[in-house]
């Protein structure tokens, strides 16, 4: 009797599948250890989880197809995995690592492609919004400023990134579909860092957010301690 050959097509991989992947877990842990050793704020499971969730929120509010929302969430969860090698060129490294993982998991390359583009273009140094998914990921990533990201236990040795993140008590992204605006609202403890210090390190990131919002026809706004900065 002839042997039966099982033929299966590409799998519909979900963000839940990606989160459960042991390699993903270990590589994100490793990426955050590299960032901690280099003196950076948290880039581990908390950060990528927040970015994935905000990416979903933006895409859903834009009326994106559910499968494309899922792909955006996957891009958000994997976007910083390249930090396991080095901070320099981490979007490129992250895209390459993500391809290997998603391909091993059986995802269709047609679905992998936009994920790689979003991951590879999420940094202001050399990246840009190249798609709705990419734009949503950029805004989600740059909006995650919060005291819980500080990894340095010694307050006296805080650098400006530590001080600014430590100062941000609340951070949220809100969309107004009628006004076609997307707003980042921050509550900053100005005894820990000034608003000017925030702009010293985040100005280029906010410009990237504005350009990203414009890609899908929205205006990006920033509110700090109840004051709308335009």
Chain segment 105-127, per-residue pLDDT in tens: 999 999 999 999 999 999 998 89
* pLDDT at position 176 over 50: yes
> Is residue 119 one of the residues assigned to a domain?
yes
Predicted model pTM: 0.94
Give the model's pLDDT for residue 5. 44
Q: How far apart are CA 35 and CA 40, in angstroms?
A: 5
DSSP conformation letters of 42-109: --SHHHHHHHHHHHHHHHHHTT--HHHHHHHHHHHHHTTGGGGT-STTHHHHHHHHHHHHHHHHTB-H
* β pairing state of 181-188 and 219-224: parallel
> Is residue 109 one of the residues assigned to a domain?
yes
Alpha helix positions (H), the chain: 15-20, 22-37, 45-61, 66-78, 90-105, 109-120, 132-142, 160-167, 195-215
**Domains in the chain, number:** 1
> What's the CATH code of the domain at 184?
1.10.3210
Mean pLDDT of 155-172: 95
Q: Average per-residue pLDDT in the chain?
A: 95
Give the model's pLDDT for residue 229. 85
Give the model's pLDDT for residue 8. 63
Torsion angles phi and psi, residue 86, rounded to 5 = -170, 155
* pLDDT at position 3 over 60: no
Give the model's pLDDT for residue 46. 97
> Is residue 218 one of the residues assigned to a domain?
yes
Structural domain for 225, as ranges:
15-229
């Amino acid at each position: 009797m002839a042997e039966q050959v099982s033929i299966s097509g590409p799998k519909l991989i979900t963000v839940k599948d990606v989160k459960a992947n042991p390699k993903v877990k270990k590589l994100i842990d490793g990426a955050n250890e590299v960032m901690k050793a280099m003196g950076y704020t948290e880039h581990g499971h908390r950060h990528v989880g927040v970015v994935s969730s905000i990416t979903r929120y933006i895409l859903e509010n834009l009326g994106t197809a559910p499968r494309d929302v899922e792909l955006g969430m996957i891009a958000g969860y994997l976007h910083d995995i390249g930090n396991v090698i080095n901070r320099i060129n981490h979007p490129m490294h992250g895209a390459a690592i993500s391809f290997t993982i998603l391909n091993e998991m059986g995802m269709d390359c047609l679905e992998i492609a936009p994920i790689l583009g979003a991951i590879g273009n999420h940094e202001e140094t050399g990246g840009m919004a190249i798609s709705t998914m990419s734009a949503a990921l950029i805004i989600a990533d740059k909006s995650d400023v919060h005291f819980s990201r500080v990894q340095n236990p010694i307050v006296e040795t805080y650098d400006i990134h530590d001080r600014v993140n430590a100062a941000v008590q609340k951070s949220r992204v809100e969309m107004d579909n009628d006004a076609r605006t997307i707003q980042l609202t921050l509550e900053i403890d100005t005894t820990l860092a000034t608003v000017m210090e925030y702009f010293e390190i985040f100005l280029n990131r906010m410009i990237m957010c504005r350009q990203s919002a414009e890609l899908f026809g929205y205006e990006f706004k920033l509110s700090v301690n109840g004051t709308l900065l335009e």
